[in-house]
Amino acid sequence: MTTYIAPVRDMQFVIREMADLERIAKLPGYEEATPELADAVLEAAAKLASEVLAPLNKIGDEQGATLTPDGVVAAKGFGAAYRQFVDNGWNGLSGDPAYGGQGLPGLICAATVEMWNSANMAFALCPLLTAGATEALKQHGSPELRARYLPKLVSGEWTGTMNLTEPQAGSDLSAVRTKAVPEADHYRIYGQKIFITWGDHDMGENVLHLVLARTPNAPEGVRGISLFLVPKFLVHANGNLAERNDLRCVSIEHKLGIHASPTCVMSFGDNQGAIGYLVGGENKGLSHMFTMMNEARQKVGLQGLGIAERAYQAARDYAKERVQGRPVGNKSGERVTIIHHPDVRRMLLTMKSQIEAMRAFGYVLAGDLDFAQKHPDGAARERFQARADLLIPVLKGWCTELAVEIASIGVQVHGGMGFIEETGACQYLRDARIAPIYEGTTGIQASDLVGRKLSADNGRAMAALVGEMRTLEVHLGDTEGAGFALIRIALRDGILALEQATQWMLQTIGQDPNAALAGSVSYLMLVGYVCGGWQMARAAIASRTALRSGESDEFYRTKIATAVFYAEQVMPKATALLSVVRSGASTARSLGDECF
Ligand SMILES: Cc1cc2nc3c(=O)[nH]c(=O)nc-3n(C[C@H](O)[C@H](O)[C@H](O)COP(=O)(O)OP(=O)(O)OC[C@H]3O[C@@H](n4cnc5c(N)ncnc54)[C@H](O)[C@@H]3O)c2cc1C
CA 56 – CA 562 distance, rounded (Å): 32
Average pLDDT over residues 449-477: 93
pLDDT of residue 592: 87
Instruction: Please count the CA atoms within 13 angstroms of the CA of 426 that sit on its side-chain side.
Output: 13
Which residue of 126, 163, 164, 165 sits with most ligand 1 atoms within 8 Å of its CB, as the best mutation to test the pocket?
Answer: 165
Give the range among 42-56, 277-291, 364-378, 432-446 with minimum mean pLDDT.
Answer: 277-291
pLDDT of residue 479: 60
Instruction: Please count the CA atoms within 13 angstroms of the CA of 463 that sit on its side-chain side.
Output: 7
415-430: per-residue pLDDT in tens?
Answer: 999 999 999 999 999 9
pLDDT of residue 141: 97
Question: pLDDT category, 209, cuts 50, 70, 90?
Answer: very high
- Please name the residue ranges forming H helices in 204-329: 285-321
3-state secondary structure of 102: coil
Average pLDDT over residues 359-371: 98
Q: What are the residue numbers of the active site?
A: 439
Question: pLDDT category, 293, cuts 50, 70, 90?
Answer: confident
Taking CA atoms, 430 is separated from 304, 308, 387, 404, 541, in Å, by 12, 12, 32, 9, 36
**How deeply is 1 buried, as exposed, middle or buried, from its count of CB atoms within 10 A (0-12, 13-18, 19+)?**
middle
46-92: per-residue pLDDT in tens?
Answer: 999 999 999 999 999 999 999 999 999 999 999 999 999 999 999 99
User: Which residues have C-beta atoms less than 6 Å from ligand 1?
Assistant: 162-165, 170-171, 195-197, 255, 263, 434, 437-438, 440-441, 443-444, 447
Question: pLDDT category, 330, cuts 50, 70, 90?
Answer: confident
Q: Per the confidence metrics, is the pTM higher than 0.85?
A: yes
Question: pLDDT category, 1, cuts 50, 70, 90?
Answer: low
157-171: per-residue pLDDT in tens?
Answer: 999 999 999 999 999
pLDDT of residue 480: 60
Q: What distance in angstroms lies between residue 33's CA and the mean position of ligand 1's atoms?
A: 38
Question: pLDDT category, 292, cuts 50, 70, 90?
Answer: confident
pLDDT of residue 478: 61
98-111: per-residue pLDDT in tens?
Answer: 999 999 999 999 99
Question: pLDDT category, 332, cuts 50, 70, 90?
Answer: confident
pLDDT of residue 300: 98
